Structure 1
Amino acid sequence: MTYETIRCATDARGIARLTLARPEKHNALSAMMISELSDIAGRLAADATARVVILDAQGKSFCAGGDLEWMRQQFTADRQTRIAEATRLAMMFKLLNEMPKPLIARVHGNAFGGGVGLISVCDAVVAARSAKFGLTETRLGLIPATISPYVVARIGEARARPLFMSARIFGADEAHAAGLVTTVVDAEGLEAAIDNEAASYLAAAPGATGRAKRLARSLGLPITDAIIATTIERLADSWETEEAREGVSAFFERRDPSWRT
C-alpha cells in the first residue's frame, strides 16, 4: 500500500516505523493524513509480523496540529460537515489508541494540538529535551475537544485543566513530569533510547502484550463512543461561537485576536 502523507516499513525484528511525512507542513494533520493514519492503524493491528510500532516524523516538527487548509474548510463548513470531519479525526485516535501492539512515539521539535493527541494514544513517549508541546486551541477561540479524552486519560484532569485553558507552550521536562512523556533524552540519544524501549517489548509474548494493553485500558478512564460523541458536539458548539470566528479569522489574517492583551 502506497501512502501520500505517511510512510510505514517493518524490519526483520518486527519493528514497524510509522512516519508522518509532510515535513514541509510540519506534519500537520490534513484530511488525507487522517484517512491514511486510520487505514494503517487497522493494517498494523492485523499484521502478525509487526510486534512494535514506532511513530515518528520527518522534518523539523513531530506534528504542528491541524492542517491550515483543513482548518479553513472547517471554518466555512456547516455544523454537520464539521461533526463528520471531527468524527473521522476521533476515529483515527480511537484506532491508534486501541491498536493491540506497543505504540512508541519518537518526538522532536514541536508537538501542538493534535500532535499532543497523537502522543497521548501512545504507550510510551521518548522525547528530545528540546521538544516543545502545547494545547493551543483556546488561542483560536476553540477547545481541544477531540483529543481531550486521550489527553486526560494520559495526564489526569488536574494536569490537563491549566494546559487546556492557557494554551501555553511547555517543554519536555514539564511534559515528563505531567506523564505525557515517559523518557527525555538529548537529541543525539533519541534513536538509542527508542531502540531500548522497543527491545523491551520484543522480549514479551506478542499476544500477551496485546491482552495486557487491553487490560490496562479497561481499568483506566473509560473512553466510550458516547464520550467521543459528546466531545465532538462540544467542538461543533465551539466552532459556532463569536470567539472562534474572531480567533480563526485573526489567525488567517495574521493579526492579534480582540482579546489579546
Structure 2
Amino acid sequence: MNYKTILITNEPSIRTITLNRPERRNAMTHEMQTELISAMEEAVASGCRVLIFTGAGEAFCSGLDLSELQAMRDKSAAEYRIDAERIARLFVTLSELPIPTISAVHGPAIAGGTGLATICDFTLATPDAKFGFTEARIGFVPALVSAFLALQVGDRQCRDLLLTARIFGAEEAQRLGLVNEVVAHGDLMTRVQALAASLIANSPESQRATKRLLASQNRAWLDAAIMAALEANAESRETADFREGVSAFLEKRKPVWKQ
C-alpha cells in the first residue's frame, strides 16, 4: 500500500513506521490515523516480529493537526462520533497487536502523540522528549487515552496528568512507568534495534500468547471504558468550552471560560 503520511522500512523481522510530516511536527490528521491502522494490520500480515514507531524531523508527534481543529467547529455530533471511533480503533489496534511494539520518542509527543508513544509495549525516549495530555487546555476531554492511562499509572496519577494538562519530561515519564528507558539522542535507534533483537530471540508463539492473555485480562474493563469515552468525547464537542477552546487556540489567544 502507498502511504502519504507515514514511511515504512523493513529489516529482517523488523518493520519501522515513521510518522512523516516533519514540516508539521508529525501532527496527526485523519488520514494519518487511518494509515497507521492499515500499516499495523499490514505488519502483522507480513510476518514481521517487531514493529517500531518513530517520527521524522524534530518531533515524534505534536498532537492533532491544526487543519483538523479548524474543521471540528463545523462538524455534526455524528461526525464527531466517527472521529472518536477512528482514534479508539487506532489505540485498541496498537494495544492488542500480537507482535511486540516499540516507540522511539524524541522531541514532543503531545496529546494523541503521547497516547501513540506510550501504548506501545516499550517506550524509549531521549532526554529532550516531552509528553503531555493537553486536551483540557483547549476544552477537549482526553476521553479515549484516559482508559489506557488509568491502566498504566493508576487513578491518582491519571487525574494529575489529565486535569493539569501539564507537559512533563522523559525522566518523569519514566518514573511514572510511561517510559521504559531514557537514552541519549545519538544512541536511541541503536538501543531500539538492540531491544528489537532481544525480542526476536524469544518464542514468537509465546509472545503472541502472552499479548493475547494480557489483552483478555483487561478487555472487559477497557471495552466499557472506551464506550464511556466515546460518549464523553462526542458530548464534549457540543459544549461552549470546546468551541471557545478551539477558537482561542486558532486565534492564538487565551481562552475565556464560562463558569
* Band of TM-score, shorter chain: over 0.9
Instruction: Give the match for residue 34 of structure 1.
Output: 33
Distance between the aligned counterparts of 1:187 and 1:56, measured in 2? 13
Q: Which amino acid in structure 2 is aligned with residue 10 of structure 1?
A: N
Q: Taking structure 1 as reference, are residues 24 and 223 closer, same or farther at Cα in structure 2, changes over 3 Å only?
A: farther
Partner of 2:205: 207
Amino acid at match of 2:210: A
Note the alpha carbon deviations across 1:53-102, whole angstroms, 9 max, x for none. 11111011101111111122222101111001110111111111111000
Superposition deviation, residue 224 in structure 1? 4.1
Q: State the partner residue of 2:241.
A: 243
Does the CA contact (< 8 Å) of 1:134 and 1:169 recur in 2? yes
Give 1:195 deviation, angstroms: 1.7
Is 1:231 the counterpart of 2:229? The answer is yes
Matched, 1:169 2:163: no
Q: Does 65-74 or 109-118 show the bigger shift?
A: 65-74
Find the counterpart in structure 2 of residue 17 from structure 1.
16
SS in 2 for 1:56: strand
Structure 2 unaligned blocks of 5 or more: none
Deviation at 1:221, TM superposition (A): 6.9
Deviation per residue, 1:140-173 (Å, 9 max, x gap): 0111112221222222222111110011111100
Partner Cα separation in structure 2 for residue 215 and residue 257 of structure 1: 45
SS at match of 1:198: helix
- Per-residue deviation, 1:37: 0.6
The worse-fitting range, judged by mean Cα deviation, of 217-226 and 2-11 is 217-226
Q: Secondary structure at the match of 1:192?
A: helix
Worse overlay, 197-206 or 146-155: 146-155
Tell me by how many angstroms 1:203 deviates: 0.9
Q: C-alpha offsets along residues 1-50 of structure 1, whole Å, 9 cap, x if unaligned? A: 210001112212x01111111111111110110110111111112221x1
Matches within 5 A, 1:26-105: 26-48=25-47, 50-105=48-103
| Aligned partners of 1:130 and 1:186 also within 8 Å | no
| CA positional deviation for 1:251 | 0.4
Partner amino acid, structure 2, of 1:39: S
User: TM-score scaled by structure 2?
Assistant: 0.95
Counterpart contact for 1:120–1:150, Cα < 8 Å: no
- Give the length in aligned residue pairs: 258
Cα gap change, 1:67 to 1:104, in 2 (>3 Å): same
Give the distance between the partners of 1:176 and 1:243, measured in 2 at CA.
32
- Matched with 2:3 is 3
2:253 aligns with 255
Change (3 A) 1:223 1:120: farther
Shift of 1:223: 5.0
Between the aligned partners of 1:85 and 1:174, the Cα distance in structure 2 is 31
- Under a length normalisation based on structure 1, what TM-score does the superposition of the two structures give? 0.94
Residue of structure 2 equivalent to 1:143: 141
Q: Which runs of 5+ in 1 are unaligned?
A: none
Q: Tell me the percent identity.
A: 39
- Structure 1 stretch displaced more, 218-227 or 108-117: 218-227
> 1:226, CA displacement in angstroms?
3.7
Supply the AA of the counterpart residue of 2:91.
Answer: F
The answer to whether the 8 A contact 1:54-1:106 is kept is yes
**Which amino acid in structure 1 is aligned with residue 20 of structure 2?**
A
Q: Distance in 1 between matches of 2:214 and 2:89?
A: 20
- Structure 2 Cα separation of the partners of residues 37 and 131 of structure 1: 21
Change over 3 Å in CA distance of 1:46–1:184 after alignment to 2: same
Equivalent-residue separation in structure 1 for 2:126 and 2:257 (angstroms) = 34
Query: What do you get for the CA RMSD once the two structures are aligned?
Result: 1.6
Deviation sequence 1:162-209 (CA, Å, 0-9, x none)? 110011111100000011100001212212211221121011011211
